[in-house]
Amino acid sequence: VPAKRIRNFSIIAHIDHGKSTLADRLLEFTRTVPDRELQQQFLDNMDIERERGITIKLQTARMNYNYNGEDYVLNLIDTPGHVDFSYEVSRSLIACESALLVVDASQGIEAQTLANVYLALDADLTIIPVLNKIDLPGADPEKVKREIEEVIGLDTTDSVLCSAKAGIGIEDILKTLIEKTPPPLAREEEPLRCLIFDSYYDPYRGVVTYFRIKSGRIQKGDKIRFMNTGKSFLAEEIGVLAPTQQPTDTLEAGEVGYLIAGIKTVEDARVGDTITHEAENRRAPDALPGYAEAKPMVWSGLFPTDAADYDTLRDALSKLKLNDAALQFEPENSAAMGFGFRCGFLGLAAHGRRAGRGPSLSACTRLEREFDLDLICTAPSVVYQVKPMKGEAYFLSNPSELPEPTKREWIAEPYARLEMITPDEYVGPLMELAQNRRGVYKDMKYLVEGRTTIVYEMPLAEMVTDFFDHLKSRSKGYASMEYSLIEYRQNDLVRLDVAVNGEPVDALSFILHRDNAHGIGKELCLKLKEIIPRQMFKVCWLSAMVETSRGRRNCSRNRLRARSA
């Protein structure tokens, strides 16, 4: 297909604003899938979602559409709809030339939409506002247009009114897409550069990589090289997603496709990496900009309640890792908890946003369900930075490895910029929530009548467990949030140990602000008293101890009664 007939676009929307429904309508209208296959939303297949876990993106789809007598190819490149994946969203967006900004006309813009629009603007995309759900009696497209103009500064002259559900405005959207999306640059004579925007592990075919060709052309059987990892493979199969995989022989600059090359783990086909040719005379001189390696931000200990399950747990984690380049784990051995693993996860909420749980817990639940395991997960911890008295500052993900107070100069913790968008009446409760979590107030703006955005800088540690749940409950579900990491800041942080009969249980140690240590230590002890398997101990004392410059001090002490044998 000549580049001038290709349009690559993505859809930006807040959850529930109608992205999947609209994608289905586009596929249906362009006859990419026959109607009966749409009985369940084709692109948003829940089974795949479950199988692939939290890194799922909607599938990419190629549509053919005849407009004014010309045949066009429209590639819908989807983005993960989750705050934790802003890097992956940004890679998907730079694979496109435009984005449909879908906003529920009865709701208005939400925090996550706003954040993704800024990523799209950074990537120089043309943004086409789409006011969805105009069939609803509460829809006020003019008000939402005003919001888009005032808050984002976008011209809404070319915006489209639609109802994805009722099938209104779909043809208009296709027409606007073709007219307003710039075609890709025709650079097929330059060296090959493909941007990877997604990859997943298929147990039968190995890793399937989705890419957008920025320059050059790729042929079936080519020897290829991943420029950032330096690994080489043979392009056994390439093809397009129409929307199921259809093999082709050649793909050229501007096109979107998939690749199968005997790759064994998604770590070797990382999002953001550049594919070029292996032969030195055909290699691109440099990789596409913006590559970054996903690093876990939150760590937690996982221990099988039955020591015999250790190997099953290791296998289960290895399996998850095939599909999650950011997941890391290492063996951890604790006197009280036995053998287990310390696991690092990418985001703060993972898929817990819907389940209302922290990352370790969601991963925990998944492991338990899929691999029939019974696990204990310790509280999630962020990655701290520590400066020892002697030597350079370093990063630390396991609180039990923190040097004693006399052997360290300072501890720093990651801060995030947090943006909340809420109806006015919840501003007070949300500010109180942020203040209770050591948030530093930065800014507040009125959007349109009745809606406000509030910005805080907040320690990530205060957000990792249940912040999102509290935000939702304090705003009756109406507020939305978005965050991005900004920097490390030194604080008066201390380690809290939990001890059984005076012996600290290293796996339960964590780092927190000194001001919170006593309250949280007490609370934790009371909770643990209920949870700790009593058969493990005869009669014992459970205590929480906070470090001070002169050693540890008890902040709570509880007697555990043994269950009668």
In the list Mg ion, ligand GDP, none, the entry touching 132 (Cβ below 5 to 8 angstroms by class) is: ligand GDP
Tell me whether strands 381-382 and 384-388 are parallel, antiparallel or unpaired: unpaired
279 is in an annotated binding site: no
Residues 6+ apart with CB under 8 A from 201: 207, 208, 265, 266, 322, 323
Q: What count of Cα atoms within 13 Å lies in the side-chain half-sphere of residue 252?
A: 13
**Under rule CB under 5 A, residue 276 binds Mg ion:** no
Per-residue x/- track, 295-334, ligand GDP (CB under 6 A): ----------------------------------------
Phi-psi domain of 53 (left: phi exceeds 0; alpha: psi -120 through 50; beta: other): left
**Under rule CB under 6 A, residue 163 binds ligand GDP:** yes
Phi-psi domain of 143 (left: phi exceeds 0; alpha: psi -120 through 50; beta: other): alpha
Which of residues 6, 13, 253, 313 is near ligand GDP by CB under 6 A? 13
Cβ proximity to Mg ion, 81 vs 304, nearer residue: 81
Return the CA Rg of the chain: 26
Cβ proximity to ligand GDP, 134 vs 313, nearer residue: 134
- For 151, list phi and psi in degrees, rounded to 5: -85, -45
**Under rule CB under 6 A, residue 15 binds ligand GDP:** yes
Token pair for 485: 């990491």
The separation between the first and the last C-alpha atoms of the chain, rounded to the nearest angstrom, is 75
Cβ proximity to ligand GDP, 164 vs 192, nearer residue: 164
Token pair for 27: 């596929």
Which of residues 143, 165, 180, 217 is near ligand GDP by CB under 6 A? 165
331 is in an annotated binding site: no
Which of residues 13, 14, 17, 44 is near Mg ion by CB under 5 A? 44
44 is in an annotated binding site: no
DSSP character string of 104-129:
ETTT---HHHHHHHHHHHHTT-EEEE
Q: With b meaning 16 or more CB within 10 Å and e meaning fewer, what string describes 369-408? A: eebebebbbbbbbbbbbbbeeeeeeeebbbbbebbeeeee
19 is in an annotated binding site: yes
Nearest to 48 by CA among 20, 17, 15: 20
In the list Mg ion, ligand GDP, none, the entry touching 518 (Cβ below 5 to 8 angstroms by class) is: none
**Under rule CB under 6 A, residue 16 binds ligand GDP:** yes
Question: What secondary structure, in 3-state letters, does 332-350 show?
Answer: EEECCCEEEEEEEECCCCC
Q: Give the shortest CB-22-to-ligand GDP separation in angstroms.
A: 7
Judge whether 397 and 299 are in contact, CB under 8 Å: yes
**Under rule CB under 6 A, residue 20 binds ligand GDP:** yes
Q: Give the shortest CB-274-to-Mg ion separation in angstroms.
A: 29
Binding span for Mg ion by CB under 5 A among 38-46, 203-211, 227-235, 396-404: 38-46
Q: Give the shortest CB-106-to-Mg ion separation in angstroms.
A: 17
**Under rule CB under 5 A, residue 20 binds Mg ion:** yes
Peptide bond into 2 cis (omega under 30): no
In the list Mg ion, ligand GDP, none, the entry touching 16 (Cβ below 5 to 8 angstroms by class) is: ligand GDP
In the list Mg ion, ligand GDP, none, the entry touching 355 (Cβ below 5 to 8 angstroms by class) is: none
**Cα torsion through 362, 211, 74, 179, rounded to 10:** 100
Binding span for Mg ion by CB under 5 A among 44-52, 192-200, 331-339, 386-394: 44-52
Binding span for ligand GDP by CB under 6 A among 8-16, 292-300, 398-406, 434-442: 8-16
Report long-range pairs for 427-434 (Cβ below 8 Å, ≥24 apart): 427/452, 427/454, 429/474, 429/475, 430/454, 430/471, 430/474, 430/475, 430/479, 433/467, 433/470, 433/471, 433/474, 434/458
In the list Mg ion, ligand GDP, none, the entry touching 13 (Cβ below 5 to 8 angstroms by class) is: ligand GDP
Per-residue x/- track, 253-292, ligand GDP (CB under 6 A): ----------------------------------------
15 is in an annotated binding site: yes
Token pair for 272: 């953001």
Judged by CB under 6 A, the number of residues near ligand GDP is 15
Binding span for ligand GDP by CB under 6 A among 28-36, 83-91, 158-166, 557-565: 158-166
In the list ligand GDP, Mg ion, none, the entry touching 133 (Cβ below 5 to 8 angstroms by class) is: ligand GDP
Per-residue x/- track, 91-130, ligand GDP (CB under 6 A): ----------------------------------------
Residues 391-430 that bind ligand GDP (CB under 6 A): none
Q: What count of Cα atoms within 13 Å lies in the side-chain half-sphere of residue 549?
A: 3
Nearest to 60 by CA among 72, 46, 47, 42: 42
Judge whether 528 and 510 are in contact, CB under 8 Å: no
- Which residue is it, tokens 């009280």? 336
Secondary structure (3-state) at 435: helix
**Under rule CB under 6 A, residue 132 binds ligand GDP:** yes
Cβ proximity to Mg ion, 102 vs 471, nearer residue: 102
**Under rule CB under 6 A, residue 21 binds ligand GDP:** yes
Report the binding-site residues for GTP: 13-20, 78-82, 132-135
Binding site for ligand GDP (CB under 6 A): 13, 15-21, 132-133, 135-136, 163-165
Binding site for Mg ion (CB under 5 A): 20, 44
Report the binding-site residues: 13-20, 78-82, 132-135
